[in-house]
Amino acid sequence: MSATRYGQWRYLFVQQQKLGAALAASVRTLADLSDALVRARAEPQMSLISIEDERVKREAFKSLLPIYTLKAAAGYFGNGEAVEPEGWVEAGGVGRIDERMFVCRAVGRSMEPTIRDGDYLVFRAKPAGTRQGKIVLAQYRGPADPDTGGAFTVKRYSSEKEADDQAGWRHTRVTLSPTNPEYSPIILSERDAGSVQILAEIVTVLRST
């Protein structure tokens, strides 16, 4: 905002193509323009494909990703269990796809409003680098997650650690936090912190319809 002798002026900087699309929607005020730009923002979309579809052999991990239940994904990526996907997802708008990526459907309300019950979550297994502050699929030894009913969960990860006697470090506390304030975090003390496995981290969310 700037002030002149003619009054105060507000500026909104947008790409010309987006501005043209918004103006075509007959906006009349700056507030209308802002609303039109927000509505025009596209989210990744997806459609489900049967395992038997002939496109699977041709497009697997190119434009298609496998979809699992959270329980099956925890078993497969955590324990190496033999698990077949429920189907495949045409993951338009996700970006570059690789063979470590998969999709699960969210269960429960603990991660609202970031993740809603029924949303499709695109994960990348065996993530590299720090997990601090990231939303992950974790498996652990401790109390059952209220959403999944098992010792696996989708939560925001944080940890505390300290040096050990072997010139390395160890976790003294791991917290798996919901974003919904109605739910409590899963807090694992030093005894159980070492059992936590980060199976995958979220790449993006595909909204359920």
Say if residue 60 is in the same domain as residue 32. Answer: no
Measure the CA–CA gap between 163 and 172, rounded to whole angstroms: 10
Residues 142 and 54 in one domain: yes
Does residue 135 lie in a domain region? yes
Q: Please report the pLDDT score of residue 41 as a whole number.
A: 44
Phi and psi at 75, nearest 5°, equal -65, -40
In a domain, 117, yes or no: yes
Same domain for 79 and 139, yes or no, is yes
**How do beta strands 64-68 and 169-177 pair?**
unpaired
Tell me if 1 is assigned to some domain.
no
DSSP string, 84-101: --SEEEE-TTS-S--TTE
Predicted local distance difference test score (pLDDT) of residue 7: 52
pLDDT of the residue at 148? 86
Per-residue confidence (pLDDT) for residue 25, from 0 to 100: 46
What lies within 8 Å, CB to CB, of 194 at 6+ separation is 170, 171
- In this structure, are 65 and 101 located in the same domain? yes
31 and 72 together in one domain: no
Q: Please list the pLDDT of the chain residue by residue as tens digits (209 residues).
A: 445 454 555 555 555 545 555 454 455 566 666 665 554 444 555 677 888 899 999 999 998 999 999 999 988 888 888 888 999 988 877 888 999 999 999 999 999 999 999 999 999 998 888 888 999 999 887 778 888 888 889 999 998 877 676 656 666 788 999 999 999 999 888 777 777 888 999 999 887 65
Q: Closest Cα partner for 86 from 65, 106, 108?
A: 65
Q: Which domain holds residue 22?
A: 12-39
Q: What is the chain's alpha carbon radius of gyration, rounded to the nearest angstrom?
A: 22
CATH at 88: 2.10.109.10
- Regarding whether 131 and 31 lie in a shared domain, the answer is no
95 and 34 within one domain: no
Listed in sequence order, the residues at least 6 apart from 69 whose beta carbon sits closer than 8 Å to its beta carbon are 86, 104, 105
Q: Considering its fold, how many domains does the chain have in total?
A: 2
At 12, list the tokens. Answer: 């909104």
Whether 7 maps to a domain, the answer reads: no
Taking each continuous run of H as one helix and of E as one strand, the counts in the chain are 5, 12
3-state SS, residue 3: strand
Of 115, 155, 153, nearest to 134 by C-alpha is 155
Both structure tokens of 17: 């193509």
Residue 113 domain flag = yes
The reply to whether 79 and 126 lie within a common domain is yes
